[in-house]
Amino acid sequence: MAVEQSQDAAPTTARLAADGVFKVFGAKPEKALEMAAAGVPRDEILRSTGNTVAVRDVSFEVTPGETFVVMGLSGSGKSTLVRCIARLTDVTRGTVTINDRDLTAMNELELREVRRKQMSMVFQHFGLFPHRRVIDNVAYGLEIQGVPREQRHAKALEVLDVVGLGGWGDHYPQQLSGGMQQRVGLGRALAVEPEILFFDEPFSALDPLIRREMQDELLRLQADMHRTIMFITHDFDEAIKLGDRIAIMKDGEFDQIGTALELLANPATDYVREFTEDVSRIKVLTAWHVMKPPAGEAIGATVGVNQPIDEILVVLLAAEDAVGVEDLSGALVGVVDREAVISVLDTES
């Protein structure tokens, strides 16, 4: 997703950071917090205090235009983390900053302002408004900001085209399939032109085929928009496909943060290794994972930026030397040579 293909929207400059974030559920979290900070296991804290430590000492930074994926199994605290970052729930300890402004210290008015102008969220179960037509769902954020009806509808129509729902504006959400409903959710988030987008398992409720389609759609959109994205998933393949960097979360903590290649090459813990082991590298890694910037070398054939390695292999074997990598609009954005592919094959054991 690091593909440069800037067309309309200027890349965002929004930088998102979390520093030492803890979230403890239950009354009187102080003692549980101390224990969590001291490294006592989650079960033990729950047993002795009755508090659930959902997020423990999480720090990370998402650079402008980056897609940061948090991957973990159910119950590992992913939703709680993204809700803390978006301040749908308050952190127990730690800070969250957007462009160095402390989100955790904002009052209600400042928070509303930031939410209106800078961030949006896409939800796992869509969170659509069933009583509003699709167009009014998409225009909701603008309506909240007080944008006049005609203007916000014009923008909503534009966004509906972008997410592939042109002509569906007058329908109600229930009349749409699951995949289309999530397109509405996506369009609703995009309509306010946020700099930062949060996704909490947005495609988990969809069929595998539709899920892949939506992932491709997001890749395509992000190639144009360059938003700062925090994306939650429990699907490692999805993480690799979408993430510039991936954090593996377990029991409320980050085990490792790295690019897909880094995780695959050097899993930091046994837990991370469990995920990477089963992954077929040549199927999930694509051209953009392994490509280098073009440096004027002779290029025989070209491949698409999102084509997996196993497809590139065939092209590479037939080609004289390196193959070029084209983005969605056909522009040359990189090259893949034999060494790059061999290094991937090396880690496949």
Partner 1 sequence: MTATSTTDLTSLEASWMERYRHWILLAVGVVALQAAFGWVEAFPALLDNTFSDPIDSFGRWQQSARRTHWLFTGLFTPLSTGVGWALDTVESFLLWLPWFILPLGVFLAVARSQSRKVALVAGLAMLYPGLVGLWEVTIDTLALMTIAVFFSVTIGVPMGIWGALRPRAEKIMRPALDAMQTVPAPVYFLPMLMLFGIGRVPATFATVIYALPPVVRLTTLGIREVAGQAVEASEMFGATQRQTMLKVQLPMALPTIMTGVTQTIMMALGIVVLATLLGAGGLGQEIMETLSQRRTGRGIATGLAVVAIAMVLDRIGRATVVTDRASLPSRRTTLIAAGGLVGLTIVGFVTGLTEFPELWDTKVFDPIDDAVVWARDNLSWLTRGFNDIVVGQF
Ligand X SMILES: Nc1ncnc2c1ncn2[C@@H]1O[C@H](COP(=O)(O)OP(=O)(O)O)[C@@H](O)[C@H]1O
Interface residue list for ligand X (CB under 6 A):
25, 52, 54, 72, 74-80
183, amino acid identity: R
Closer residue to Mg ion in complex, CB, 51/79: 79
Structural tokens at position 7: 């067309």
Q: Which does 129 bind (CB under 5 to 8 A by kind): ligand X, partner 1, Mg ion, none?
A: partner 1
Task: Quote the DSSP letter at residue 174.
Answer: G
Comparing C-alpha atoms, which of 78, 34, 31 is closest to residue 58? 78
Residue 103 burial (C-beta neighbours within 10 Å; 0-12, 13-18, 19+): buried
C-alpha pair distances (Å), 325 with each of 91, 305, 311, 331: 43, 6, 13, 8
- Cβ atoms of 289 and 271 closer than 8 Å: no
Told to check if 19 binds partner 1 by CB under 8 A, we report: no
Q: How far apart are the first and last CA of the chain?
A: 26
Positions 143 through 162 that interact with partner 1 (CB under 8 A): 143-145
Helix 149-162 crosses helix 178-190 at what angle (to 10 degrees)?
A: 130
Closer residue to partner 1 in complex, CB, 201/327: 201
Closer residue to ligand X in complex, CB, 71/191: 71
Positions 162 through 181 that interact with partner 1 (CB under 8 A): 171-172, 174-175
CB of 202 to ligand X, least distance (A): 13
Structural tokens at position 272: 């991370």
CB of 82 to ligand X, least distance (A): 8
Positions 69 through 128 that interact with Mg ion (CB under 5 A): 79
Q: Which does 236 bind (CB under 5 to 8 A by kind): ligand X, partner 1, Mg ion, none?
A: none
3-state secondary structure of 216: helix
Stretch that binds partner 1, among 139-147, 228-236, 287-295, 319-327 (CB under 8 A): 139-147
Told to check if 130 binds partner 1 by CB under 8 A, we report: yes
CB of 250 to ligand X, least distance (A): 10
Told to check if 25 binds partner 1 by CB under 8 A, we report: no
